[in-house]
């Protein structure tokens, strides 16, 4: 979608409000230029002492008062209908961006840090709101004022109007120079704001490491560098706003001096009346606000266009074609039935390497996960375990012909459809700043989940007793990212969340690393009892976590070097035996 199409889309969304706003803005400006005309007529009647002149004077004064009151009412309605679309557009665009971000693949989120995306939605869209709200109001207000006011001035004196235009024309030339410079500076300002937001998000995520390693001075120094760069850019914008943008106001002041000088000369020559000079000066005052407003309109317009550029970064990002496909209920039930009847989840000759890297992270991987089987994957750090998990759950883009759900190639499934059959529990669970119960219920889309079901999965995850010891039980707020819970409690809560709704394959990616061996054993026993008909893939670098598996796949440097159960591998795989022996001598995690 081009920028022009995006603008027209939201103009069309608010077309009724904008049409009414234009009508009311026109009425405001018409009343503004009519009032000085009646003031002119009233002043010219002051010296008329006749009864008729006195009555006519009172009539003109009454008209001025009535039109002023009417202008106040109409102006209020013009602001309501002109400003509301800005908020409506901002809300609609934010919803669209969030929906798009949820559909974009992992490759996009790797290129754009979370802090940068947050800055786009929170900061850049403010410019879009102002452009569609305040910007629209001031643009049409200035357009109509600069159209009607000179026309009424021309009616009084064409000659004086022509002289008045000269300083304004010169001011516009200078204004144009500053306007061009503002565009590049606003782009730079938004970019630096995004950089600062991304950096702050990164530092906040690693705040524990920063404090433990006494890195605070270095972090302050880095933030200060970005902050100073942002301040320098902001100051450049401010200088232009101070020295270039007010030039129109200066031009308006020069215009008033010309009106007083030339108008006074014409008054002495009886070419104009006192009332006409007064009206002309009033019109020059009416020109002042829209002329000064042009500087702000330019700023708002630039911010809005930069905001739209940022929004297009997300809106125009490519969503994988498979994500636009959706299985019909019949096809989805067919895949589910085939998996329940015993068809396995299969990996065939899977190889994967990240963009820009020559080394293959996964090299010719093949294995099956039959229905109801418990399969483990063992490997050291860097063996490719997490990459394998991200391929299985379609977090990474893989070509066709390598991973199958029964007869269905997952490369042809949308991620939304795949989530019906495959659930992943990661080693770094994300918990929301909500209650324990709410975080568990997030694992199911169903609204009829009972309290007993929540308690059941908490017991299976060996978290029920811990929750009962909390001050408010399962209604305790866990804080942002589960800050109120220990590492093991966060992992067990994520397991409970995944168990709330059944899936044909549950992938556990090193999720028991922060619990002790006894808790780990109880969790796995309860898990396997609950998931008799479902497949489980447990990924770990700890042999103890995999002893109960039906089959264990041993990964080393992206290759499968052995397969078998625990007893078989102890006899046939030296790497597995060595890993097991080393881990027997290590103290258990607390």
Pairing of strands 374-378, 551-556: parallel
| Host H or E run for residue 540 | strand 535-540
pLDDT at res. 539? 87
Pairing of strands 345-352, 403-405: antiparallel
Q: How far is Cα 434 from Cα 436, in angstroms, rounded to an integer?
A: 7
Can you give the three-state secondary structure of 169-219, one letter per residue? Answer: HHHHHHHHHHHHHHHHHHHHHHHHHHHHHHHHHHHHHCHHHHHHCCCHHHH
Task: Indicate the fold that domain 329-431+502-585 takes in CATH.
Answer: Rossmann fold (3.40.50)
Q: How far is Cα 499 from Cα 485, in angstroms, rounded to an integer?
A: 19
Locate 17 and state its tokens. 């409000």
pLDDT tens digits along 412-442: 777 777 777 788 888 777 788 888 888 888 8
pLDDT tens for the chain, 590 residues long, are 788 888 899 998 999 999 999 999 999 888 888 888 888 777 777 766 677 777 888 888 888 899 889 999 999 999 999 999 999 999 999 999 988 888 887 778 778 777 778 888 888 888 899 999 988 888 888 888 877 878 888 888 888 777 777 777 777 777 767 767 777 787 788 788 878 887 887 787 777 778 777 888 888 888 888 889 889 888 888 887 777 667 766 776 777 777 777 777 777 777 777 777 788 777 777 776 776 667 678 778 888 888 888 888 888 888 776 666 666 666 666 666 666 666 678 888 888 888 777 788 888 888 888 878 888 888 888 788 888 888 888 888 788 888 888 778 888 777 777 777 788 888 777 788 888 888 888 877 766 778 888 888 888 788 888 888 888 888 888 877 777 888 778 888 888 888 887 777 888 887 776 666 666 777 777 777 777 777 888 888 778 778 878 888 988 888 888 888 888 888 888 888 888 888 776 544 43
Pairing of strands 551-556, 559-564: antiparallel
C-alpha neighbours within 13 Å on the C-beta side of residue 190: 26
Q: Using the structure block, give the residue that is written with the tokens 């070419």.
A: 271
- The length of the chain in residues reads 590
For residues 153 and 283, is the Cβ–Cβ distance under 8 A? yes
For residues 197 and 115, is the Cβ–Cβ distance under 8 A? yes
- Per domain, the residue ranges of the chain are 3-157+272-316, 329-431+502-585
> Backbone dihedral region of 167: left (phi > 0), alpha (psi from -120 to 50 degrees) or beta?
alpha
pTM: 0.67
The DSSP-derived string for 473-510 is GGG-B--GGGTTS-HHHHHHHHHHHHHTS--SEEEEES
Q: How far is Cα 449 from Cα 454, in angstroms, rounded to an integer?
A: 8
| Host H or E run for residue 334 | helix 329-340
Q: How far is Cα 303 from Cα 308, in angstroms, rounded to an integer?
A: 9
pLDDT tens digits along 448-497: 778 888 888 888 788 888 888 888 888 888 877 777 888 778 888 888 88
Locate 186 and state its tokens. 């606003």
Reduced to 3 states (helix: H, G, I; strand: E, B; else coil), residue 425 is: strand
Q: What would be the CATH architecture of the domain defined by 3-157+272-316?
A: Up-down Bundle (1.20)
Q: What is the DSSP letter of 387?
A: H
User: How many CB atoms lie under 10 A from the CB of residue 53?
Assistant: 14
For residues 135 and 301, is the Cβ–Cβ distance under 8 A? yes
pLDDT at res. 93? 92
């Amino acid at each position: 979608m081009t920028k022009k199409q995006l603008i027209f889309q939201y103009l069309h969304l608010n077309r009724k409000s904008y049409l009414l706003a234009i009508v009311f803005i026109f009425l405001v400006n018409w009343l503004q230029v009519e009032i000085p005309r009646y003031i002119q007529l009233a002043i010219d009647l002051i010296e008329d002492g006749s009864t008729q002149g006195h009555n006519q004077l009172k009539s003109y004064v009454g008209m001025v008062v009535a039109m002023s009151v009417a202008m106040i009412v109409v102006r209020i309605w013009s602001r309501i209908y002109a400003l509301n679309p800005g908020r409506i557009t901002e809300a609609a665009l934010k919803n669209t961006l969030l929906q798009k971000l949820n559909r974009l693949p992992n490759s996009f989120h790797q290129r754009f840090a979370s802090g940068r995306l947050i800055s786009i939605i929170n900061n850049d869209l403010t410019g879009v709101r102002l452009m569609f709200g305040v910007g629209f109001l001031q643009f049409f207000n200035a357009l109509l004022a600069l159209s009607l006011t000179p026309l009424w001035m021309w009616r009084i004196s064409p000659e004086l109007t022509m002289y008045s235009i000269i300083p304004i024309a010169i001011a516009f030339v200078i204004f144009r120079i500053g306007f061009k410079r503002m565009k590049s500076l606003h782009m730079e300002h938004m970019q630096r704001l995004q950089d600062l937001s991304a950096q702050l998000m990164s530092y906040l995520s690693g705040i524990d490491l920063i404090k433990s390693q006494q890195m605070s001075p270095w972090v302050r120094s880095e933030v200060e560098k970005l902050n100073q760069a942002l301040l320098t850019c902001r100051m450049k914008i401010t200088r232009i706003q101070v020295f270039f943008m007010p030039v129109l106001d200066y031009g308006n002041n020069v215009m008033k001096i010309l009106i007083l000088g030339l108008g006074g000369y014409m008054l002495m020559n009886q070419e104009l009346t006192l009332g006409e000079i007064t009206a002309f000066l009033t019109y020059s005052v009416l020109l002042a606000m829209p002329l000064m407003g042009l500087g702000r309109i330019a700023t708002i317009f630039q911010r809005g266009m930069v905001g739209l550029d940022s929004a297009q970064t997300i809106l125009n990002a490519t969503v994988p074609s498979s994500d636009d496909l959706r299985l019909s209920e019949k096809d989805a039930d067919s895949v589910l039935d085939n998996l329940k009847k015993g068809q396995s989840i299969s990996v065939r000759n899977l190889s994967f390497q990240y963009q820009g890297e020559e080394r293959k992270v996964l090299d010719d991987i093949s294995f099956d996960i039959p229905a109801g089987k418990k399969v483990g994957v063992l490997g050291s750090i860097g063996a490719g375990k997490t990459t394998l998990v991200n391929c299985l759950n379609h977090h990474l883009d893989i070509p066709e012909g390598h991973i199958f759900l029964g007869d269905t190639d997952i490369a042809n499934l949308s991620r939304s459809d795949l989530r019906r059959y495959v659930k992943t529990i990661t080693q770094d669970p994300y918990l929301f700043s909500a209650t324990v119960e709410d975080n568990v219920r997030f694992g199911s889309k169903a609204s009829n989940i009972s309290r007993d079901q929540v308690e059941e999965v908490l017991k299976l995850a060996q978290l029920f007793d811990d929750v009962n010891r909390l001050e408010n039980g399962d209604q305790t707020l866990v804080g942002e990212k589960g800050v109120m819970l220990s590492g093991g409690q966060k992992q067990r809560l994520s397991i409970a969340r995944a168990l709330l709704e059944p899936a044909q394959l549950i992938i556990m990616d090193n999720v028991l690393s922060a619990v002790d061996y006894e808790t780990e054993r109880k969790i796995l026993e309860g898990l396997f009892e609950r998931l008799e008909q479902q497949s489980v893939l447990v990924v770990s670098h700890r042999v103890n976590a995999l002893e109960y598996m039906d089959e264990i796949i041993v990964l080393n440097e992206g290759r499968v070097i052995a397969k078998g159960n625990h007893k078989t591998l102890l006899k046939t795989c030296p790497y597995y035996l060595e890993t097991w022996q080393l881990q027997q001598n290590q103290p258990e995690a607390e």
